[in-house]
Amino acid sequence: MSEQVPATNQSFYDRISHAYDLISDAGEHKAREQGEQTLNVQSGENVLEIGFGTGNTLLHLAEAVGESGRVSGIDVSTGMLEVATRKVESKGLADRVDLSVGDARQLPYKDDSFDAVFASFTLELFSLNDIPAVLAEVARVLKPGGRLGVVSMATVQEGEKASALEKTYVWMHQHFPHIVDCQPIDVVELVEGAGLQVQEKVEMTIWTMPVRCVVATVS
């Protein structure tokens, strides 16, 4: 397994799991919800969320798949698992949700298992060397024609200038990766590089930081 050691992320997210919604959710929830809407999960579908965090999207996915569908979730943090499990149980949705602790670079699911996979603010945590491995795993577990929905901090589009916030993120990630563990990524290029076909793309900003929601399919 290369570069990014899961334990680093794991202990960081374990520590912040109980406060995560307070720390991070001011702007991110809008982008997450845009991503969910673009992925457009249907009743009866079998869906996986990678890096489910405190479980806000899991609840929406579980509502969308209905009683005949299933939602699986994988996250490297046991702290996040505890927070998300409590939310899922308190909404009475536990019978259609299966949560696991694990690493997205080695998904513990069979080939062709899911109609859709969703990941928000998670792909950009992996090193640029590791992202293709995560996307290859996603392509493996998606059924033919299955959809991947990604919401991520994004590099600026051609001809645009990076905002001060984006430049700060990139600099901090390069110099202090243990503090700023994510970096803006070109999600379209990465997803297409993994052999998926981008079907929809929505551009947003959070506090001047470009954020991109992409839905792509496997053939």
Ligand X SMILES: C[S@@+](CC[C@H](N)C(=O)[O-])C[C@H]1O[C@@H](n2cnc3c(N)ncnc32)[C@H](O)[C@@H]1O
Of 48, 104, 131, 142, the one binding ligand X (CB under 6 A) is 104
Nearer to ligand X, 121 or 218 (CB): 121
CA–CA gap between residue 79 and residue 185 (Å, rounded): 26
Shortest CB 215 distance to ligand X, Å: 16
The contacts of residue 59 (CB under 8 Å, 6+ apart) are 87, 88, 91, 93
Using rule CB under 6 A, residue 120 touches ligand X: yes
Using rule CB under 6 A, residue 80 touches ligand X: yes
x/- track of binding to ligand X for residues 13-32 (CB under 6 A)? x--------------x---x
Using rule CB under 6 A, residue 121 touches ligand X: yes
For tokens 């200038």, the residue is 161
Of 6, 27, 132, 177, the one binding ligand X (CB under 6 A) is 6
Residue span binding ligand X (CB under 6 A) among the ranges 115-123, 161-169, 170-178, 211-219: 115-123
Using rule CB under 6 A, residue 184 touches ligand X: no
Using rule CB under 6 A, residue 9 touches ligand X: yes
Using rule CB under 6 A, residue 152 touches ligand X: no
HSE-up (13 A, CA, CB side) for residue 118: 31
Residue span binding ligand X (CB under 6 A) among the ranges 36-44, 59-67, 76-84, 165-173: 76-84
Using rule CB under 6 A, residue 64 touches ligand X: no
CA–CA gap between residue 18 and residue 26 (Å, rounded): 16
Torsion of CA 176, 178, 180, 185, to 10 degrees: 90
* C-alpha dist (Å) from residue 44 to 141, 176, 187: 17, 43, 28
Element (H, E) at 28: helix 20-39
Strand order in the sheet with 46-50: 97-101, 70-75, 46-50, 114-120, 142-153, 209-217, 197-206
- Residue facing ligand X at closest CB distance: 53
**Residues found near ligand X in the complex (CB under 6 A):** 6, 9, 13, 28, 32, 50-53, 74-77, 80, 103-104, 120-122, 125
